[in-house]
Amino acid sequence: MMGVERLRASTVCVVAGRVLLVQLRDPKTGIVRLFPPGGAVEAGETPAETAVRETLEETGYKVRVQGAARVDHYPFVWAGTEYDCETHFFRADLAEPDPVSVRKDPVVVGAEWVPLSGLSAALDFDQNIRESVLALAFR
């Protein structure tokens, strides 16, 4: 069974040996997990623009993407819907050192800087996302 197609973009922002992740709560299951910040590419946006916008919205940090994206295709279930994701993962760095705002809502719980040494374990719930983030984090 094919899922709903979803074009996404995310950032892998590494600063001083730590990676910026966002805690998200699945609205259906209530499970909170860490993800690289990101979301759906909107009409008129490039994946790089989406990655920057979503990172700001979810973490409060302004980032700049570095280079070309790593594009991966994988299935993912969110809020009870199965998606067929195409995600453009971008390595990024901070455009400003401090967050400009912090968004919290029922889905976005908060941002967290995870040490590179704990990154694999933090993302162990999904092999596809973990492999993409690790490939960029340790580049």
Euclidean distance between CA atoms 109 and 84, whole angstroms: 25
Find all residues with CB under 8 Å of 7, minimum gap 6, and list them: 40, 41, 47, 86
Structural domain span for residue 60: 4-137
| Closest CA relative to residue 68, chosen from 51, 43, 85 | 51
Q: Is the pLDDT of residue 92 over 70?
A: yes
Q: Is the pLDDT of residue 41 over 60?
A: yes
Instruction: Give phi and psi for 30, each to the nearest 5.
Output: 80, 0
Here the tokens at position 48 are 């790089």
* Higher pLDDT, residue 106 or 20: 20
Total domains in the chain come to 1
The predicted model gives 29-38 an average pLDDT of: 97
The model's pTM is: 0.94
Instruction: Determine contact, residues 69/88, Cβ cutoff 8 Å.
Output: yes
Q: Is the pLDDT of residue 91 over 60?
A: yes
CATH number of the domain bearing residue 22: 3.90.79.10
